[in-house]
Amino acid sequence: MRAIAAVRGDGAATADQIRGALRDVSGVRAWLASSEAALTSALASQVSFPERDVADCTRGSLNDAIKTKARSDTLDRSSALADALDRADITAGHVDEVTKTISSLDNDDQRAELIGRVDGGLLDVATAATVAEWRRRLAMEAKAIRRDDGVARLERQRRATRVRTWTDGEGMVCLSGRFDPITGRRIVAQLDTTTQALFAEATPDTCPTDPIEKQRHLQGLALARLVCGDAPAGSSGRPEYVVVVDSSESDGAGGPAIDWGLPVEVPYRVVADMAGDGDVHAVVVRNGVVIHAPGELDLGRTTRLAGPAQRRALRALYRGCAIPGCSVRYDRCKLHHVRWWRHGGRTDLANLVPVRLSHESIALNSHAESVPERRHHPWSAASSCWLPTLNAVGRHSCDSLPCALTTTRRCTMPTGFSRSVRIAS
């Protein structure tokens, strides 16, 4: 603590000293989280509702206390996890991801197996991984553990479908709903399609100026039109699935990693049924390089708006917003020109990045006209005879790629973005 205080009070501290102090802060925070969890566990053995006492003693909310209690329960399950947090080898965030994964499993046997994997060596991954990387690894472990491929969980989710309505204090009618992943995906697809059909060219005068509130307002209007049967003709809302096949990563079962772009886990056998009701487009990547992306990827100056093929290819390159640190998923972003359209920017894949609505001002204000030149060399069907063939569970039928597709060109991202776009030549 003295070392942290010394650096904090030193106006001439170097960047390395400040980084070291921040690492010390992280260590103290981990020890405090471990201590809080241990004290909460001790309190739970003496009182029936420890969350209330925790909230009162820490002057926090009851929700924060509930989260602390859940963390302490997880640490009680795994002594190795508790020791690692006490040593500051991991953070409270790593423990919370284990808690979330435990709650997503279907029964006590599966939860015990996950804890066994954590104690049996998986914890070493957490000590070297960020919280986001740890979350993805736990998702893979959970998928491998589920004996029934998640079908039982999906059935429970379907039984838990609910909608409620009420009138708030301002006289506004409010709606809230919970749907299983399949139904929810279809509803969202229909809503997004209708919103685009109604407001692609112009928006009503009632729109708020805040970009997030504006989008919510437009979706509210679209929902009203849908429910009242007043949606524009042709807005069928057929779901579209962009399947990203990463041949450089394993799915844990001998095949390539498959990402269906779904924000939730869905059993493979259900995914196969979903694919029959929607439009499926495969984009193949290897080591961050787009090997195959169907459609026209460079539109030049013919249009300002990105085309469907470009959106699908960018979906393979970006999990979400391109602004570093932003976790908003890709389908909630808008595509922006790195070199502005009004400054001669082209609607080419190498000049487009997904940006969260609330970050539009960052995208517009952080790039001057002197943006580095970016090059893009699209994949050509004539340059190779190899194409992936997806089966019902998304695995491709070829294990090797022609060396003609391994040559890459790097498009340098301007300062402020987190990765570079690499397209196979």
Mean pLDDT, the chain cut into blocks of 10 residues (425 residues total): 88 91 93 94 92 92 92 93 93 94 87 91 91 91 73 80 94 93 82 85 87 87 90 63 74 66 59 65 76 82 86 81 77 83 88 76 46 34 29 31 28 32 34
268 with 169, same domain? no
Q: Does 152 fall in a domain?
A: no
In terms of domains, do 258 and 187 share one? no
Model pTM score: 0.48
Identify the domain boundary among 227, 249, 270: 227
What is the structure's pLDDT at 371?
A: 34
Identify whether residues 252 and 221 lie together within a single domain.
no
Confidence (pLDDT) at 370: 33
Q: Is the dihedral of CA 192, 196, 198, 204 positive or negative?
A: positive
- Give yes or no: residues 223 and 252 share one domain: no
Specify whether 375 is located in the same domain as 283.
yes
Does residue 219 share a domain with residue 138? no
Residue 373 sits in which domain range?
240-424
153 is a domain residue:
no
Q: What is the DSSP letter of 421?
A: E
Same domain, 62 and 88: yes
CB 325 within 8 A of CB 305: no
Within-domain flag for 233: no
Residue 155 placed within a domain: no
Which residue in 223, 257, 229, 233 sits closest to 243, CA to CA? 257
In this structure, the answer to whether residues 210 and 346 fall within a common structural domain is no
246 and 288 assigned to the same domain: yes
If one counts the domains in the chain, the total is: 3
Q: How many CA atoms lie within 13 A of 293 on its CB side?
A: 30
Residue whose C-alpha is closest to residue 295's, from 277, 283, 304: 283
Residue 162 φ/ψ region, left for φ over 0, alpha for ψ in the -120 to 50 degree band, beta for the rest? beta
In this prediction, residue 415 carries a pLDDT of 31
Same domain, 221 and 276: no
The DSSP bridge partners found for residue 423 are 290, 409
Together in a domain, 249 and 336:
yes
The whole-number pLDDT of residue 379 equals 33
